[in-house]
Amino acid sequence: MLVKYSSNNSGGRWWLEDKDWHALEAAGWKVDWVRLNKKSWLLDADGERSLGALATEAEKEFETPGEAMREFEKVTGQTVSDEGCNCCGAPHSFSWSAGAMGFASGEECLQYMYSNVPRSLRDGCTGKID
């Protein structure tokens, strides 16, 4: 399945540095470089970046979304489950289509990376107060 990574300017900064985008490309991800994207709505004066970012999306074929997320972490050193700031949202999100569309960002990514991860804090709650 094709898994697409999208970066979010969470907390007023891009969480991936230039070296991370180049590392993703070296690992076989197809990086959507801003300078080549005709749809970029706001190019910096140098024509290479948008709001300071060299790229904001990348994609690659994987067997599972979890495999993509684990490789992303290994290649970039980032943590896909980071929540970012509470007003801007999570800095990393992933989408895919394998029959049905899928999407995960922030802590939602954990359920695709590991088994037996609750979907929310209420999953597995006994209702008892200790």
pTM as predicted: 0.84
pLDDT digits (tens, 9 = 90+) for 80-102: 999 888 888 899 999 998 777 89
Question: Average pLDDT of each block of 10 consecutive residues along the chain (130 residues)?
Answer: 94 92 98 78 77 92 95 96 88 89 91 77 51
90 CB burial (10 A radius; 0-12, 13-18, 19+): buried
